[in-house]
């Protein structure tokens, strides 16, 4: 078993300005956290507690006020914009509540799109084969040449999951990916996420409101005040 550390947070603090006169709201204070390759981890907590902020910091879309953030062996604060873009494109997959598929291009073109952002893109044919294989694994191969408007919301979300995996990320960040789906479609999507991540040894951090969904992950984290506890 590979026990490489994929995410390491050391004493990370984050606050946002709130109201007038230089007031700040503390989102988390001296948060430390370590996640290994292939681990699945849920994050729960009430709305507004900082779940998306945490994912954004881990995904280098936001920066902490203080503390160290290491992702896939790189200290985020050491990286310039170009290196950060490469880290995000090559090593990290993102899935959000909304699918963010581009409406003007087909399902398979959407899936292949992140390959263009990769710092080491694979050849077009190979990428297309990989996209088909991934679509197949979520039961969407028959829809490869459809436009996003021609498939259902649940299907779009499955495509978004596949797109997030096209560059074989080491880390997948999923922010309430089932938030817009009904219960059955949601459970199915989580199964697909877990299956894909297990197959590629991708670490998964899943933010969810749903305790039952959370319990399907190997580790369960919950926000408590300005900290996080393992539950
Ligand atoms: P969650 O995802 O748990 O619902 P968020 O991480 O989105 O919570 O937000 C945590 C808190 O930080 C909220 O009170 C939110 O209003 C605030 N917040 C988030 N992003 C910003 C920002 N860019 N500027 C100011 N406040 C923010
Ligand atoms: Mg959120």
pLDDT tens digits along 146-157 = 999 999 999 999
CA torsion angle 25 27 29 34 (round to 10): -170
pLDDT value of position 150:
98
Mean pLDDT of 214-222: 98
pLDDT number for residue 1: 59
154-178: pLDDT as tens digits: 999 999 999 999 999 999 999 999 9
| CATH code: domain of residue 11 | 3.40.50.300
Give 56 Cα–ligand 2 centroid separation in angstroms.
Answer: 10
What pLDDT, on the 0 to 100 scale, is given for residue 159?
A: 97
Number of domains into which the chain is organized: 1
* DSSP for residue 123: P
Residue keyed to tokens 């370590």: 34
Report the atom number in ligand 1 closest to the C-alpha of 47: 4
Structural domain of 42: 5-230
Least distant ligand from the CA of 25: 1
0.85 exceeded by pTM: yes
Backbone angles phi, psi at 199, to 5 degrees: -60, -35
Q: Give the CA distances from residue 179 to residues 96, 176, 190, 206, 211, in Å, rounded to whole numbers and listed in that order.
A: 9, 5, 11, 12, 13
Q: Partners of 13 in the beta sheet?
A: 66
Give φ, ψ of 101 to 5 degrees. -75, 145
Backbone angles phi, psi at 51, to 5 degrees: -65, -50
Q: Considering only CA atoms, which residue is closest to atom 20 of ligand 1?
A: 53
Ligand 1 pocket check for 57: Cβ under 6 Å: no
User: What is the C-alpha R_g of the chain?
Assistant: 18
Residues with a beta carbon under 5 angstroms from ion ligand 2:
51-52
* CB of residue 27 inside a 6 A radius of ligand 1: yes
- Whether 92 and 59 have beta carbons less than 8 Å apart is answered as yes
Beta bridge partners of 71: 7, 74
When pLDDT is averaged across residues 125-149 and rounded to a whole number, the result is: 97
């Amino acid at each position: 078993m590979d026990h490489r550390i994929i995410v390491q947070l050391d004493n990370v603090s984050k606050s946002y300005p709130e109201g007038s006169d230089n007031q700040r709201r503390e989102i988390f204070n001296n948060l430390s956290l370590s996640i290994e390759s292939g681990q699945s981890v849920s994050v729960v907590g009430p709305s507004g507690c900082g779940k998306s902020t945490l994912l954004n910091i881990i995904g280098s879309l936001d920066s902490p006020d203080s503390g160290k953030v290491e992702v896939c062996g790189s200290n985020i604060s050491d990286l310039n914009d170009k290196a950060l873009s490469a880290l995000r494109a090559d090593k990290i997959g993102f899935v959000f509540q909304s699918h963010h598929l581009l409406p003007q291009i087909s399902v398979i073109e959407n899936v292949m799109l992140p390959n263009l952002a990769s710092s080491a893109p694979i050849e077009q044919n190979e990428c297309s084969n990989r996209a088909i294989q991934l679509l197949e694994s979520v039961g969407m191969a028959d829809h490869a040449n459809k436009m996003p408007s021609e498939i259902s919301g649940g299907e779009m979300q499955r495509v978004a999951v596949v797109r997030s995996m096209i560059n074989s990320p080491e880390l997948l960040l999923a922010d309430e990916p089932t938030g817009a789906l009904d219960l059955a479609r949601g459970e199915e999507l989580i199964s697909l996420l877990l299956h894909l991540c297990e197959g590629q040894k991708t670490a998964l951090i899943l933010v969810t409101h749903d305790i039952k969904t959370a319990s399907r992950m190997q580790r369960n984290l919950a926000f408590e005040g300005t900290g996080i506890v393992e539950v």
